[in-house]
Amino acid sequence: MGRKKQKRGGAEWRQPPKSAHWLAVDTASRERRALGKRPVLPQRRLIYSVFAAFLLTCSAFLFFFWIPSHALVDDLRSRGIATTAEVTDSPRDRFGSAGNIKVRFDGPDGPVHKTLSEWGGKRPEGLPQGSFVRVVYDPNDPGRVLTQKWVNDPPTLTLPMAACLVVAPLLLAGGVALVVRRRKVLALLGDKT
């Protein structure tokens, strides 16, 4: 018969050496667990995207609502001709507000059929079909026509303008918050290493 194995005590037992494969698996597992505890780092492309959306909102406010509307009013105040126009069509858009209101008035070259210009994304309300309204038009381009009331006292703020003015600061605050968060996380990770 063979030799009898000796019993080892608990203090004498050692774990057998691991192969290279199992050492790599253990290392990867430890790294994954360490990553799970690490705070999420806001990525640069997210920060850039939020700031780009802020700039896009500000430029939309300026170039689509503020500048064209004020330029139209300034042009009509300086060289516009006031006249009475008949409202030929007064539709409603799908949201229930005034649509493209068409008017007919006597221009320098005869009768002119045009659509009232918008002011900051808004059109005048309360103009039923067949009614008469005072308008001011540009003699160089009769398509640029506004009601006399809006030329004298244009609306201060319209819904599209207000939306831009509300969204822009929120985007700016979000971008700044992401930058601050990223810097704090990077500083925290820098202390650990």
Domain of residue 138 covers: 55-163
121, part of any domain: yes
Q: Is the whole model's pTM more than 0.95, yes or no? A: no
Q: What's the pLDDT score for residue 10?
A: 65
Instruction: Dump the DSSP string for 22-81.
Output: HHHHHHHHHHHHHHHHSPPPPPHHHHHHHHHHHHHHHHHIIIIIIHHHHHHHHHHHHH-E
Please answer whether residues 72 and 122 qualify as being in contact, where contact means their C-beta atoms are separated by less than 8 angstroms.
no
DSSP character for 187?
A: H
**173 Cβ contact partners less than 8 Å away, ≥ 6 residues apart:** none
Q: What is the pLDDT of residues 77-134, one digit of tens each?
A: 999 999 999 988 877 777 777 677 888 998 888 888 888 867 666 777 778 888 888 9
Q: What is the pLDDT of residues 42-86, one digit of tens each?
A: 899 999 999 999 999 999 888 888 888 888 889 999 999 999 999
Phi, psi of 84 (to 5 degrees): -100, 135
127, part of any domain: yes
158, part of any domain: yes
Place of tokens 């503020």: 66
Q: What is the pLDDT of residues 146-180, one digit of tens each?
A: 888 888 888 778 888 888 889 999 999 999 999 99
Pick the more confident residue, 176 or 139.
Answer: 176
Give the total number of structural domains in the chain: 1
In which band, very low, low, confident or very high, does the pLDDT at 193 lie, cut at 50, 70 and 90? very low
81, part of any domain: yes
- Average confidence score pLDDT of the chain: 83
Strand partners, 11: none
93, part of any domain: yes
Please answer whether residues 93 and 99 qualify as being in contact, where contact means their C-beta atoms are separated by less than 8 angstroms.
yes
4, part of any domain: no
- The tokens for 141 are 């381009």
95, part of any domain: yes
Going by C-alpha positions, the residue among 108, 161, 165 that lies closest to residue 137 is: 108
**Burial, 54: exposed, middle or buried (Cβ in 10 Å; 0-12, 13-18, 19+)?**
buried
Convert 94-149 into a string of H (helix), E (strand) and C (coil). Answer: CCCCECCCEEEEEECCEEEEEECCCECCECCCCCCCCCEEEEEEECCEEEEEEEHH
